[in-house]
Structure 1
Amino acid sequence: MKYFGTDGFRGEANNTLTVDHAFKIGRYVGWYYGARQERKARVVVGKDTRRSSYMFENALVAGLVASGADAYLLHVIPTPGVAYETVDGRFDCGIIISASHNPYTDNGIKLVNGEGYKMDEDVLELIEAYIDGEVEVPLATGDAIGCTVDYMQGRNRYIAHLIASANFSLQGVKIGLDCANGAASSVAKPVFDALGADVRVINNAPDGFNINVDCGSTHIDRLRRHVVEQGLDVGFAYDGDADRCLAVDERGNVVDGDLILYVCGVYLNKHGRLTAGTVVPTVMSNYGLFKALDEAHLSYETTAVGDRFVYACMREKGYSLGGEQSGHIIFGDIECTGDGIMTSLRLMEVIRAERETLSQLCAPVKLYPQELVNVRVKDKDAAMGDAAVLGSVKRAEEFLAGQGRVLVRASGTEPLVRVLAEAPTEELCKQANGIVLEALESHRA
């Protein structure tokens, strides 16, 4: 793919991702779905809070209606809210304007199909061909021109869906929320207020420039201090588009995606809701998670890094829980994408039902120290196929004698080989990595 990566078309606003790109995406999508079904296409559009999102929204809408589609605007809403409403409102597709956890200078355009899944690659390839001028699509005229609908009721339905998913009260529970000055700012607090929680919110005053700035799931220290200073029971931090969630326990300790998978996996399995007793993490999950799942008699099936790989595995095999260390958690029985606010509600369900604190629920997991080294190489494929490198990985794991692991993988976007060691101590990590780094020396750029 030339423009669309694993998480949409992303780049610096009006540099690598321009208004012209957005207009053309709208033009092709509006024409494609209308022509395929011989009727006006219905497309729902949502955005995050960065300044350029409004510019891209206007360009997308202009393209959509010029091609004869009706554009329904959800305005500022989490990415999973667009996916939910695409299905709930029976739209042909959904468009999300967001660069997630990236700085405000970046933005992105992501498309989901009518089932709420990431858009099929064959459609994205057609859009790219149109962007590059390889095909033409007609302009709508007369009464075939589309219209724009202010669709605030769709956002309200998404909020109602989140509230309805929680069959418990949070009366008397003190909860901290870090909305990252992003898309969660207009949604998270109303959800927890409706459930009766005592909500203390930080970073929910977006100004177009402060999204993800020293806040949210990528900068969680502010929430940690907030939880401890305010004496809160738990805290939740979202990223810019609120599809991720990290938690903070009552002691101020970070509860990452691995710990969330463990806590929710054990609870769901206890109540017969974990399909095949299996959790789906990625290969980058902490070795301590795998050990804890073994001790809890739960199975796990690892995937490549990326939520799309996690969900592909879950969908293929019918698994009900998977996710990433970064806090991108998918509850397959109720959603087809990660939803940060839904993740925090599911954690609260466990805390309330088990009558334990979050630190107590996480206690069985002993996360191992990690050391990650990125090695810039001349040819990453040659490095990954080198028998000496492969042999060094085996020697490193033999050195750890079953008390850890070494993972070597090539970067998907850069000429880098990533070497990750996990072991009971930082010194053992360093020693294990050293074995592999020595073998990679001849490949360094």
Structure 2
Amino acid sequence: MGRLFGTDGVRGVANADLTAELALGLSVAAAHVLAEAGTFEGHRPVAVVGRDPRASGEFLEAAVVAGLASAGVDVLRVGVLPTPAVAHLTGALGADLGVMLSASHNAMPDNGIKFFARGGHKLADELEDRIESVYEQHRTGAPWQRPTGSGVGRVKSYDQGLDQYVAHLIGVLPNRLDGLKIVLDEAHGAAARVSPEAFARAGAEVITIGAQPDGLNINDGCGSTHLDLLKAAVVEHKADFGVAHDGDADRCLAVDHTGAEVDGDQILAVLALAMREHGTLRHDTVVATVMSNLGFKLAMEGQGLALVQTAVGDRYVLESMKEHGFALGGEQSGHVIILDHATTGDGTLTGLLLAARVAETGRTLADLAGVMERLPQVLINVPDVDRTRVKTSAELTAAVVDAERELGSTGRVLLRPSGTEPLVRVMVEAADIEQARSVAGRLADVVKSALG
């Protein structure tokens, strides 16, 4: 698998890349590293462990629990819950660490392990590096220090997690959702019980699809990566709008009453204006990545709000928010972080707050989302090229300068090397789709000739 930790934990094909042995070893290593870092401060440590409903999560959960308990960590098993629920419970229960087993929006054969520090925050890069290093040391022969007798960890089921998390979500809402009819697509994932329960308790009439997980159907033709079923259901049921999550429900995309998609940029725009109105948008600033549509930037500027842009990845959004004290950030893909109420992207919370805004204003989601106009965006992946030379190729630099001159202030160019594959992503935005396609095609040709 190369480096084990990526931008969102350890992920791979379950039982091939991500084995029971790896899950157990990483869990033991995490316990040792956090103990050495002083996280446990001399007390008996406690971990919260949850998972999404993938079949492989059953054996991987057993391996993680075994590893933690063998290292002297008491474990609270919360079962199938969304990633943000595990993060929330880690903080709310005063646990020393949290572990979530999920591959998010990936197909069923994949799975992943994500660790949370005390308070429900993602581990710092240096701690992940240390965990990986300690795991490798012991994998190659260095013995573990193993507690015995009463020193081993105890394992308990914590069945109150769902109700506790839903109560937290309801408590965040500024107003109820009475009178709204909402379709929820749960991607046959971790929010199949949580999200419908939360929306119903908040007063909405709820219609669910993709809410019958069997361990094999997660993200299969449904959820935030496949919106066609949700679009059809919203129109069929004459709903006010629809919400789609991914497998671990840290994402939220929406569909308005006409069946049109409302992406993460538009959701951020709606929430930003709502939060400013309520006085909770600190520094009148939103954080997004460089992949956000130019229309989002123009809309925020037009509303008198500042936009801070980061590298692609919700962890970079979160880092910027925490460093500068911002309250709202997210990605076009639907990761939305409301830092006053969550330590990570929370798709259910995002959907609830979006619904609350619709209920509060009496306006349709289509009307609210109209605050920004999505400019046509064309993305071309150019494979089999030397991605390391994107910034040093004089030929490519000249082509980008020419393209930016042609597009002017109503368009932009972004060349992004893949972090894992020998390819370069060429993204072009323009006021006219044909111009965007033309410029993107020409740049892709230059990438092939200059870096191939």
> Normalised by the size of structure 2, how large is the TM-score?
0.95
Matched, 1:365 2:372: yes
Matched, 1:173 2:180: yes
Matched, 1:408 2:449: no
Candidates 351, 361, 385, aligned match of 1:354: 361
Deviates more, 1:88-97 or 1:400-409: 400-409
Q: Which residue of 2 aligns with 1:6?
A: 7
Aligned-CA RMSD value: 1.5
CA distance in 2, matches of 1:34, 1:440: 48
CA deviations 1:286-314 (Å, max 9, x no partner) are: 11111211221211111111000101111
Q: Which runs of 5+ in 1 are unaligned?
A: none
CA distance in 1, matches of 2:3, 2:415: 27
Q: Which residue of 1 aligns with 2:133?
A: 129
Residues 103, 248 of structure 2: 8 Å contact kept: yes
CA distance in 2, matches of 1:102, 1:441: 29
Candidates 101, 108, 117, aligned match of 1:113: 117
Q: Which residue of 1 aligns with 2:91?
A: 87
Structure 1 residue identity aligned to 2:449: S
Structure 1 vs Structure 2: percent identity of aligned residues? 42
In the TM superposition, 1:357-436 aligns within 5 A as: 357-436=364-443
Deviates more, 1:418-427 or 1:43-52: 418-427
Structure 1 residue identity aligned to 2:257: E
SS at match of 1:384: coil
Q: Which residue of 2 aligns with 1:334?
A: 341
Q: 1:346 Cα deviation (Å)?
A: 1.0
Q: Which residue of 2 aligns with 1:211?
A: 218
Q: 1:128 Cα deviation (Å)?
A: 1.7
SS at match of 2:173: coil
Q: Which residue of 1 aligns with 2:329?
A: 322
CA distance in 1, matches of 2:27, 2:179: 47
SS at match of 2:208: strand
Residues 100, 241 of structure 1: 8 Å contact kept: yes
CA deviations 1:226-245 (Å, max 9, x no partner) are: 00000101110000000000
SS at match of 1:133: helix
SS at match of 1:10: strand
C-alpha spacing 1:167/1:403, structure 2 compared with 1 (3 Å): closer
Q: Which runs of 5+ in 2 are unaligned?
A: none
Structure 2 residue identity aligned to 1:12: V
Q: Which residue of 2 aligns with 1:22?
A: 23
SS at match of 2:76: strand
> Normalised by the size of structure 1, how large is the TM-score?
0.97
CA distance in 1, matches of 2:130, 2:371: 49
Q: 1:188 Cα deviation (Å)?
A: 0.6
Q: 1:213 Cα deviation (Å)?
A: 0.2
CA distance in 2, matches of 1:397, 1:105: 41
Q: 1:431 Cα deviation (Å)?
A: 2.1
Residues 77, 184 of structure 1: 8 Å contact kept: yes
In the TM superposition, 1:32-181 aligns within 5 A as: 32-34=33-35, 36=38, 37-134=41-138, 135-181=142-188
Residues 169, 195 of structure 1: 8 Å contact kept: yes
Residues 395, 435 of structure 1: 8 Å contact kept: no
CA distance in 1, matches of 2:70, 2:278: 51
Residues 177, 356 of structure 2: 8 Å contact kept: no
**What is the aligned length?**
445
Q: Which residue of 2 aligns with 1:298?
A: 305
CA distance in 2, matches of 1:188, 1:250: 20
Q: 1:65 Cα deviation (Å)?
A: 1.1
SS at match of 2:309: coil
Structure 2 residue identity aligned to 1:121: D
Q: 1:442 Cα deviation (Å)?
A: 2.3
C-alpha spacing 1:125/1:383, structure 2 compared with 1 (3 Å): closer
Q: Which residue of 1 aligns with 2:285?
A: 278
Q: 1:430 Cα deviation (Å)?
A: 1.8
SS at match of 1:280: strand
CA distance in 2, matches of 1:67, 1:208: 29
Deviates more, 1:294-303 or 1:87-96: 294-303
SS at match of 2:395: helix
Structure 2 residue identity aligned to 1:27: V
Deviates more, 1:191-200 or 1:133-142: 133-142
C-alpha spacing 1:88/1:405, structure 2 compared with 1 (3 Å): same
CA distance in 2, matches of 1:309, 1:190: 31
Structure 2 residue identity aligned to 1:125: D
Q: 1:66 Cα deviation (Å)?
A: 1.1
Matched, 1:307 2:332: no
C-alpha spacing 1:378/1:253, structure 2 compared with 1 (3 Å): closer
Deviates more, 1:74-83 or 1:116-125: 116-125
